Chains A and B, each alone.
Chain A
Amino acid sequence: EADIYQTPRYLVIGTGKKITLECSQTMGHDKMYWYQQDPGMELHLIHYSYGVNSTEKGDLSSESTVSRIRTEHFPLTLESARPSHTSQYLCASSEYFVTENTEAFFGQGTRLTVV
């Protein structure tokens, strides 16, 4: 069973608020990822990290930012939430680069609604 946790599971917040979505893993994985998924759509990579102090933007442009100060923690922050940020956010981690023999483990996701 994967040990990767996301909080909160659900969040409804007003426009303009600053929010941080938490993601923690206890597996000691170097690689961590944030994906965004709208209903019925594919997961889009928005950020990833190879390790501490490493962050990269993914394929989908996002107004969010991430940090990786500790191996186990990869929070995502929106400085000013907007209705267009309403989506599900999924965090994942992997021990090595994802290949045939290395999978990525996903958290349960945070469903964000901005009103």
Chain B
Amino acid sequence: DQQVKQNSPSLSVQEGRISILNCDYTNSMFDYFLWYKKYPAEGPTFLISISSIKDKNEDGRFTVFLNKSAKHLSLHIVPSQPGDSAVYFCAASLSNSGYALNFGKGTSLLVTP
């Protein structure tokens, strides 16, 4: 049963504009949420995270928003750059499973010049 869902398999954005990647989850017990970025033929790399007790975390061009009541989080990239083109995975960790990560299916972001 998939607990982390990314319902948009792909997204195309123009360079300089905002990219918004969405993620929904079903398990209200998740403690932390993370975003990973993956280029082809490489492993995922960590991008940004947020604790379940917060509603926003910002790191440079990347901001993650968490809406616990809606069980929804989003990643905002402003401004988007062509180098941001990659697959973005939303993940959540749960303390009673050793904090191992539950991943969504990913959203493929294409930033066009």
Question: Could you list which residues of chain A lie within 8 angstroms of chain B, going by C-beta atoms?
Answer: 2, 4, 6, 31, 33, 35, 40-45, 48, 50, 56, 58-59, 90, 92, 97-101, 103-109
A42-B2, A45-B102 given; A109·B51 CB < 8 A? no
Residue of A nearest to B2 (CB): A42
Question: Which residues on the A side are within 8 Å of B36 (C-beta)?
Answer: 106
Cβ–Cβ contact A99 & B99, under 8 A = yes
Question: Could you list which residues of chain B lie within 8 angstroms of chain A, going by C-beta atoms?
Answer: 2, 4, 9, 31-32, 34, 36, 41-46, 49-51, 54, 57, 89, 91, 93, 95, 97-106
Q: A48-B98, A99-B51 are in contact. List 10 more A-B contacts (CB 8 A).
A: A42-B102, A42-B103, A45-B100, A45-B101, A59-B97, A97-B99, A98-B101, A99-B93, A105-B46, A109-B41
Cβ–Cβ contact A100 & B51, under 8 A = yes
Question: Which residues on the B side are within 8 Å of A106 (C-beta)?
Answer: 36, 43-45
- Which one of A33, A99, A109 lies within 8 Å of B32 (CB-CB)? A99
Cβ–Cβ contact A31 & B98, under 8 A = yes
Alpha-carbon distance A96/B103, docked complex (angstroms): 19
Cβ–Cβ contact B43 & A33, under 8 A = no
7 A-B pairs with C-beta separation under 8 A: A33-B100, A42-B89, A42-B102, A59-B102, A100-B32, A100-B51, A103-B34
